[in-house]
Structure 1
Amino acid sequence: MPVVLDSNVWIDLLVFRDPHAEPIRDALDTGAIAPLIRADCREELRRVLAYPQFARFAVDIGAALEEVDRLSTAVEPPCPNEAAAIRLPRCRDTDDQKFIELAHFAGAACLVSKDKAVLKLAGRLRRSSGVDVVTPRAFAPWLASRMP
């Protein structure tokens, strides 16, 4: 099942080993979900992992990105004409709009995020694209409701 994980979710998986992200890790390990990523989303993750506040965690950025590459499928952005023709919900945080676009154009079943600006778009994105927006805490029940 195709999903989009935003940067803060990847960081919970790669750096913090957040227990709320464990159902996502389990779904990755079993192949129940197939994360999608675009180059600009991956670049944002690289930049965030290099922030000084992560230095104390001794993150091997190269290894973290290799894991992301291993677990996810790279997707090309839509052509500008295609993107302009679709009226997607606009995220208040313009840095997060790429995740909305990725989820829509790649046909993701859901976008997993903790970002308040993204979460506020849940209803509008579901209506416009059929993409559910869920928090890491809500991910396990969301996935269970879609499994046979």
Structure 2
Amino acid sequence: MTRAVLHTNTWVSGLGWSGPPGDVVEAAPAGRFEVVTSPALLDELRRVLAYPKLGEMFGDVDEVIELIALASRVVRPTLTLDLVRDADDNRVLEAAITGSADVIVTGDANLLDSRSWRESASSPGRLHQGTRP
């Protein structure tokens, strides 16, 4: 089964709107791929979902995070990377390496262009095409 780290932008878009990110988020609990995440990624998602303009959309943010954690393989990276400019994006790479992820699903140009993950970083639409029943 494919293991995928979903970047925060994929979670936010997928939980809040329809389209490829939403299709990916819906495919995860259906068992079409295994979500890999980490405490740092869950904390970032919790912080972003609580933004005032998003908070009303998602209701109880802690409950959303708990459900994601329960449906995911939560890894605890022991390595610290500094491969891309955004420190939060380095946390994504750390989770992907620790969890032996096959793909990172993101709309983030820095991760999509990252040399170390060039063939493994994917837009939500590309992953969804590969996980359709």
How does the TM-score come out when normalised to structure 1? 0.76
Please list every run of at least 4 consecutive aligned residues from structure 1 whose deviation after the TM superposition is greater than 4 angstroms: none
Name the one with the larger helix percent.
1
Taking the TM superposition and a 5 Å limit, the aligned residue runs for 1:21-100 are: 21-57=21-57, 59-78=59-78, 83=79, 90-100=83-93
The answer to whether structure 1 residue 137 and structure 2 residue 125 are counterparts is yes
Taking the TM superposition and a 5 Å limit, the aligned residue runs for 1:93-132 are: 93-121=86-114, 123-126=115-118, 132=120
Letter in 2 for 1:45: L
Any idea what SS the aligned residue of 2:28 has?
A: helix
CA distance in 2, matches of 1:35, 1:57: 23
Any idea what SS the aligned residue of 2:84 has?
A: coil
Alignment correspondent of 1:11? 12
How does the TM-score come out when normalised to structure 2? 0.84
Q: What is the total number of aligned residue pairs between the two structures? A: 132
Q: Percent identity?
A: 26
Q: Deviations over 1:5-30 (max 9, x none)?
A: 0111111232x133212431343133
- Residues 8 and 41 of structure 2 are in contact (CA less than 8 Å); yes or no, is this contact kept in structure 1? yes
- Residues 23 and 139 of structure 1 are in contact (CA less than 8 Å); yes or no, is this contact kept in structure 2? no
Letter in 2 for 1:113: T
The CA RMSD over aligned residues, in Å, is 2.3
Runs (5+) with no aligned partner, structure 1: none
Which has the higher mean CA deviation after the structures are superposed, 97-106 or 22-31? 22-31
